[in-house]
Amino acid sequence: MTDLLIVGGGIMGLWAAVMAERAGIETTLVERSTIGAGASGGILGALMPHMPDRWNEKKQFQFDALVSLEAEIAALEAETGLSAGYRRLGRIIPLAKPHLRTIALRHEQEALENWVSADRGFHWHVRDTSAQSGWPDSKVTESGIVFDTLAARVSPRLLLTMLATVLRRSRHVQGKEGMEVVRLDPLSGQAELSGGETIAFEHCILAAGVQSFPLIDALRPSAPHSSGVAIKGQAALLKADIDPSWPVIFSDGLYIVPHENGCVAVGSTSEYSFNDPLACDAQLDDLVARAIGFVPALAEAEIVERWAGLRPKAVGREPMVGRHPDFPRLLTLTGGFKVSFGLAHRLAAAVIGEISGNSQIALPDSFRCASHIALMQGKQGT
């Protein structure tokens, strides 16, 4: 019997385990393959804020998470002596048309109001040109650029390695790779593993990425909707002589992210239908060509890795987090879709707070597992 069973060794499951360790909860984390085998083992690592307009509790939650991640990572880097490749680079959004500049100027004011933490403000500057020549090319910045000072990046793989190192040294968490949960019975508190073995648990956090959805759906097979879907994404890593302190470039789904290892990551496709979930194809070639349109210097860069993964998108389109309304022993921690890396530490802290009865972080209602289950059961329009 374990007090807490965590299913999944991606960014969500690892942060949950770190928070469980801090709360002193006896925990077993099972991963069917190896740590980072799912979507979290990728190459992009963009930590992008929402727009500063139409402020709401979801945007505030994400803002607080993006601000607090810097100190969380710094503390773990100090503890382990490892680097997570984190840096608050800021972000450039090219403004190709005059009306986009008008909107951006409005956001500049809204950021002054909304992008403020207890001891720090962040900015959405509208400028005529980029401070870095050719980053991006002047032909895409005819109406100027936005430079925001909140966006950051992390190396997904270095961060996972660092979290796994913390857990190997932990007192309360036991990690088990190569163990797949095939069925959950949250009423009796039993997880069945692929080899036929079972694990008894007091609580279970389901953080199995896209595989969370069939495990949740199996609990209510008559529900009219699934709890979520997989959205494929592809990205590429280019060896390029780009200063790693330069800002992320973002335009209409395209990210160009300088990393510390002499590489620039380019992402990502967003594919709702696909044949091979992990194959890279011409859609990635098109994306890299688009990136070269923004930064012609990348035309010379060698592609050192092409990578694809499946993002978990929950029925309510937001992260699916917290206690299942029908099965109090079961908590979900999934559905981070495109923003898991910026939010996972805070979502995990909220879930562990629910279990320990010491909840200090309020989740937006739309994130709550109960809101998603209501949608899944057709109780509200999807």
- Nearest approach, Cβ of residue 325 and ligand FAD (Å): 21
* Shortest distance, position 264 Cβ to ligand FAD, whole Å: 13
* Under rule CB under 6 A, residue 13 binds ligand FAD: yes
Q: At what angle do helices 11-23 and 340-356 cross, to 10 degrees?
A: 40
Contact with ligand FAD (CB under 6 A): which of 42, 52, 189, 316? Answer: 42
Does residue 9 bind ligand FAD (CB under 6 A)? yes
Q: How far apart are CA 324 and CA 224, in angstroms?
A: 17
Q: Is the peptide bond before 268 cis (omega within 30 degrees of 0)?
A: yes
**Rounded to whole angstroms, what are the CA distances from 83 to 74, 116, 131, 239?**
9, 27, 27, 20
Q: Does 263 bind ligand FAD (CB under 6 A)?
A: no
Is position 199 an interface residue for ligand FAD (rule: CB under 6 A)? no
CA distance 273 to 231: 8
The verdict on 233 binding ligand FAD (CB under 6 A) reads yes
Quick one: which segment of 92-100, 203-211, 278-286, 356-364 binds ligand FAD (CB under 6 A)?
203-211
**Residue numbers 314-343 binding ligand FAD by CB under 6 A:** 334, 336-342
CA distance 42 to 36: 8
Which residues, in sequence order, are CB contacts of 100 under 8 Å at separation 6+? 143
Say how far apart CA 301 and CA 138 lie, in whole Å. 20
| CA atoms of 135 and 257, how far apart (whole Å) | 11
Binding mask 128-167 for ligand FAD (x = CB under 6 A): ----------------------------------------
Q: How far apart are CA 122 and CA 79, in angstroms?
A: 28
Window of 10-18, 19-27, 96-104, 288-296 that interacts with ligand FAD by CB under 6 A: 10-18
| Window of 42-50, 94-102, 321-329, 372-380 that interacts with ligand FAD by CB under 6 A | 42-50
Distance (Å, whole) CA 352 – CA 361 = 10
State the DSSP string of 141-175: -TT-EEEESS-EE--HHHHHHHHHHHHHT-SSEEE
Say whether the peptide bond before residue 52 is cis (omega within 30 degrees of 0). no
Nearer to ligand FAD, 123 or 306 (CB): 306
Stretch that binds ligand FAD, among 39-47, 73-81, 135-143, 296-304 (CB under 6 A): 39-47
Confirm or reject binding of residue 258 to ligand FAD (CB under 6 A).
no
What is d(CA 327, CA 188) in angstroms, rounded to the nearest whole number? 10
User: Per CB under 6 A, does 346 bind ligand FAD?
Assistant: no
56-115 positions binding ligand FAD, by CB under 6 A: none
Q: Is 37 or 96 the residue whose CB approaches ligand FAD more closely?
A: 37
Match 């011409």 to its residue by tokens: 282
Binding status of residue 309 toward ligand FAD by CB under 6 A: yes
Check residue 31 for interaction with ligand FAD (CB under 6 A): yes
Interacting residue with ligand FAD among 268, 327, 330, 371 (CB under 6 A): 268
Counting every residue, how long is the chain? 382
The DSSP-derived string for 44-100 is --EE-PPPSSS--HHHHHHHHHHHHHHHHHHHHHHHHS-----B---EEEE--SHHH
CA–CA distance, 40 with 193 (Å, rounded to integer): 23
Q: Would you say 216 or 292 has its CB closer to ligand FAD?
A: 216
* 8 A C-beta contact, residue 264 and residue 258: yes
Site track for ligand FAD across 287-306, x = CB under 6 A: --------------------
Asked whether position 382 contacts ligand FAD by CB under 6 A, the answer is: no
The answer to whether 20 contacts ligand FAD (rule: CB under 6 A) is no
Site string for ligand FAD, 175-194 (x = CB under 6 A): -----xx-------------
92: phi then psi, degrees, rounded to nearest 5: -105, 130
- Taking contact as CB under 6 A, which single stretch among the options 36-44, 69-77, 102-110, 298-306 is the one that binds ligand FAD? 36-44
Q: Which residues bind ligand FAD (CB under 6 A)?
A: 7-13, 30-33, 37-40, 42, 44-46, 180-181, 207-209, 211, 233-235, 267-268, 309, 311-312, 334, 336-342
